[in-house]
Structure 1
Amino acid sequence: MWYDQYPYDCRMEWGRRGAREAAERGDIVIVIDVLSFSSTVVSALSQGAIIYPYPPNLDGKEYADQLGAEYILGRAEAAKMGKATLSPVSFTEEHANKKYVLTSLNGAFCTWLASRVPALLIGSLLNASSVAAVANKLRQETNKPITVIACGEQWMNGLEDEDTLRPSVEDYIGAGAILSYLRGSKSPEAEVCIGAFLQSKDRLRDLIFECGSGRELRGKGFEHDVIHCSQLNVYQTVPMLDKGHFVMAN
């Protein structure tokens, strides 16, 4: 009870545990994973693709077969085959009305954990003001608080006694962007997060380009992903989870 940020209307949490706690409270949830799950979902839906999120510890290929969907492979493997990937820039109008199962260690996992909530939205820098507008409307209709989940990253090769969550700059700034557009009282955690965004908003591209996650993706040859995901408010697309897949929120 001490950590649930009660009685504030707008809250900020990290990772899988934060997603589960928000779901247990029955909050409106906004999942943000800038590099790249949430940015990919926003970009894919803007092209008309149908995305089913799925956690990586379950058999996504079998799930895709059941749905008659394509299971999205890793960036490098899929890029060689000319297929849609976790890379947001891989989706084009050619993917419209086609089903895809998208898995990831962070964004997809947090979405799965928080799926049973009044409303689950996907946020990113790309759609920050638009997703906040939808969340504001939902809060007014349901009188439920809003929790923004910054998914973060996972440390690789963690030891048995270590926490594998790696809080990430890009998700913290992205969460702050969304929170800055939300109406209602803000928890201290949310206020500090907003401050980080406001301090950074004029340097988003440079900061995300040079942060650890950005450097990792660039090192793997996906510089265009980093540049694309660093843009603020370029889409009005707001994905909402409905019956296992994302639809456009009204």
Structure 2
Amino acid sequence: MNVDWAAQGSWGVRMDWGPAGAEALAPGSAVVVVVDVLSFTTSVSVAVARGTQVLPCPWHDERAQRMAERHDAERAVARSKASARQPWSLSPAALRHAPAPARLVLPSPNGSAISSAVTTAPVAAACLRNASALAQWIRAQGWGTLDQPVSVIAAGESWPEQPILRPGIEDWLGAGAVVSALARHGAGPLSPEATAAQAAHDAVTDLPDLIRNCASGRELATMGFAEDVEIAVEIDSSTVVPVLREGAFADAANTR
């Protein structure tokens, strides 16, 4: 997508949704921040904190297995298919309790697909656990200005059996958390989209309770993964800043 009106070119902090939004905003960005609270970027934050390099993968099929073999990595499976032999999945709780591999291929049709598709700017993984730490790191790089803009992408979800973006409120508020933290550290000016996300986040008085009770939170609880939601709402509990370098997310403190 190459249309001027979609690029939010007059702003230092920008915000949009899904793969199309990332495609529109990534060119010219100093960094693209992907937000997929339930659960890709939360899973990445947990795994990277334990020393694992995470390779994003858009597919849940044999291509993920080939990627794992090619990179001498373990492969995460669907939540429902985790086992003692293959305990890694797109579940922050599973990744917290399983052995920490050196490298892990993490398939995801939302956050992982966006992360893999951005090729014109560095990519960082943000969630409610690390929004403040990530904002501090971004500002330390001198990013978040008109000349070095930050683009925050809310991943969203897909409707069951339909390839249509569902604007998950958890990602909207996660993006707002990042924007709010960036603004506190002097980033800007904010685009109207980023301003709206910040306002939505700042207006919530009990963010964990809202995430637990939103559609995506209730979906995970119904599936038996309420612990994933509880990990996702550990607000600013992590100082890890996962940055995608050479195809894998690793902590910015340990990458160059």
**TM-score of the pair, normalised by structure 2:** 0.89
Give the structure 1 partner of residue 44 of structure 2: 41
Give the structure 1 partner of residue 108 of structure 2: 104
Q: 1:73 aligns with which of 69, 72, 77?
A: 77
- Where 2:206 maps in the other structure, the secondary structure is helix
Rounded to whole Å, the distance in 2 between the matches of 1:240 and 1:98 is 16
Q: 2:213 aligns with which of 189, 210, 219?
A: 210
Is the 1:23–1:113 contact (alpha carbons within 8 Å) kept by the matching residues of 2? no
2:246 maps to a residue whose letter is K
1:163-191 superposed Cα distances (whole Å, 9 cap, x missing partner): 60000110000000010011121011111
1:95 equivalent in alignment to 2:99: yes
Q: CA deviation at 1:122?
A: 0.6
Rounded to whole Å, the distance in 1 between the matches of 2:144 and 2:11 is 17
Is the 2:60–2:108 contact (alpha carbons within 8 Å) kept by the matching residues of 1? no
- Where 2:93 maps in the other structure, the secondary structure is helix
Cα pair distance change 1:97/1:148, threshold 3 Å: same
Give the structure 1 partner of residue 89 of structure 2: 85
Matches within 5 A, 1:22-37: 22-37=25-40
Matches within 5 A, 1:143-154: 143-154=147-158
1:229 equivalent in alignment to 2:232: yes
Is the 1:129–1:233 contact (alpha carbons within 8 Å) kept by the matching residues of 2? yes
1:196 equivalent in alignment to 2:213: no
Q: 2:136 aligns with which of 133, 138, 143?
A: 133
Worse-superposed segment, 62-71 or 233-242: 62-71
| 5+ long unaligned stretches in structure 2 | none
**TM-score of the pair, normalised by structure 1:** 0.91
1:68 maps to a residue whose letter is D
1:166 equivalent in alignment to 2:166: yes
1:103 maps to a residue whose letter is P
Number of equivalences: 244
Give the structure 1 partner of residue 64 of structure 2: 60
Is the 2:242–2:251 contact (alpha carbons within 8 Å) kept by the matching residues of 1? yes
Rounded to whole Å, the distance in 1 between the matches of 2:144 and 2:175 is 22
Cα pair distance change 1:141/1:128, threshold 3 Å: closer
Worse-superposed segment, 34-43 or 176-185: 176-185
Runs of 4+ in 1 over 4 A off after TM superposition: 79-82
Q: CA deviation at 1:48?
A: 1.1
Q: CA deviation at 1:99?
A: 1.2
Q: CA deviation at 1:27?
A: 4.0
1:98-155 superposed Cα distances (whole Å, 9 cap, x missing partner): 21100101000010111431x2111000001001111222344994200000000011
- Where 1:121 maps in the other structure, the secondary structure is strand
1:193 maps to a residue whose letter is A
Is the 2:158–2:164 contact (alpha carbons within 8 Å) kept by the matching residues of 1? yes
| 5+ long unaligned stretches in structure 1 | none
Rounded to whole Å, the distance in 2 between the matches of 1:94 and 1:224 is 14
Rounded to whole Å, the distance in 1 between the matches of 2:128 and 2:239 is 11
Q: CA deviation at 1:56?
A: 1.4
Rounded to whole Å, the distance in 2 between the matches of 1:141 and 1:220 is 38
